[in-house]
Amino acid sequence: MKPVLSGALLALLLAACATTTSPTGRRQIVGGVSQQQLDQLGAQAFAETKAKQTLSTDGKQNAYVQCVVNALVAELPQQYRGVRWETALFVEKEPNAFALPGGKVGVNTGIFSVAKNQDQLAAVLGHEIGHVISRHHEERITQQMGTSGFLQIAGALAGAAYGDAAANAVNQFGSMGAQGVILLPNSRTQESEADVVGQRLMAQAGFDPAQAVDLWQNMMAAGGARSPQWLSTHPDPANRIRELQRDINALEPVYRQARAAGRTPRCG
């Protein structure tokens, strides 16, 4: 794509960007990519990850993860509940998990070494799903499109937006790949926001929000002198634990109301 044309398409895309408010009231710039294209990116990144990693065939563990995901999804806004959520369990020691636009959730078996019960697993997955419903992937891509290093992405998305190639948009990213685009590290602001959104989500689903604190304490202990990779771009663990502890009192009534309404997950 010629530089002049790339710049024109980038300008058109950026003009389509919009200011919105996140679930916590934070101002966001989004709109650089359509929901359809975002879902395509999520599906492509998920497919690439499944192709590169070993999938677990442990039926009990797979059912356990799916059960927790289902309980959380049931409490999402309607536009996310209507998505067919897909999970994948990877045989990998590193305690890690992710959620992608389009309803994709990936979990490493190593997460069970730190998420000791269903409530702690819900804290992990609530946090990751929190990124999706807070539109963090869209926000990051929109931000990155404003830099020269991501003109290729802008050009590919623009071509898809103005032609009939939307279904093939991801393939136009060439060697960069969907994984490199959609799995970029989150900012610390987004990580803190996903903590808040995820902890509330788990309480609404009937999981004990206090277990989010225990989960992060386990993560810190598992890292020893070196924090797990999952924590590398996250806020200071001690600070995030204090923030999670701070919100427990406000979330306890939400949790009790969920349990009283029959939302009592029994995932294992």
Per-residue pLDDT band for 5 (boundaries 50, 70, 90) equals very low
Per-residue pLDDT band for 4 (boundaries 50, 70, 90) equals very low
Euclidean distance between CA atoms 172 and 70, whole angstroms = 33
By CB atoms closer than 10 A (0-12, 13-18, 19+), residue 6 is middle
Domain ranges of the chain: 3-34+137-178, 36-41+55-136+185-260
In total, the chain counts a number of residues equal to 268
How many other C-beta atoms can be found within 10 angstroms of the C-beta atom of residue 136? 24
Confidence check: pLDDT of 133 > 90: yes
In this prediction the pTM is 0.79
Confidence check: pLDDT of 268 > 90: no
Q: How does pLDDT run across 175-208, given as a tens digit for each residue?
A: 345 555 555 556 778 888 999 999 999 999 999 9
Mean pLDDT of the chain: 80
Q: Residue 210: beta bridge partners?
A: none
What is the DSSP secondary-structure string of 114-172?
T--SHHHHHHHHHHHHHHHHTTHHHHHHHHHTTSGGGHHHHHHHHHHHTSS-GGGTGGG
- What region, left, alpha or beta, does residue 79 occupy, with left being phi > 0 and alpha being psi -120 to 50 degrees? alpha
Per-residue pLDDT band for 3 (boundaries 50, 70, 90) equals very low
When pLDDT is averaged across residues 152-174 and rounded to a whole number, the result is: 43
From the list 34, 191, 192, 40, the residue with the least C-alpha distance to 103 is 40
Euclidean distance between CA atoms 78 and 92, whole angstroms = 33
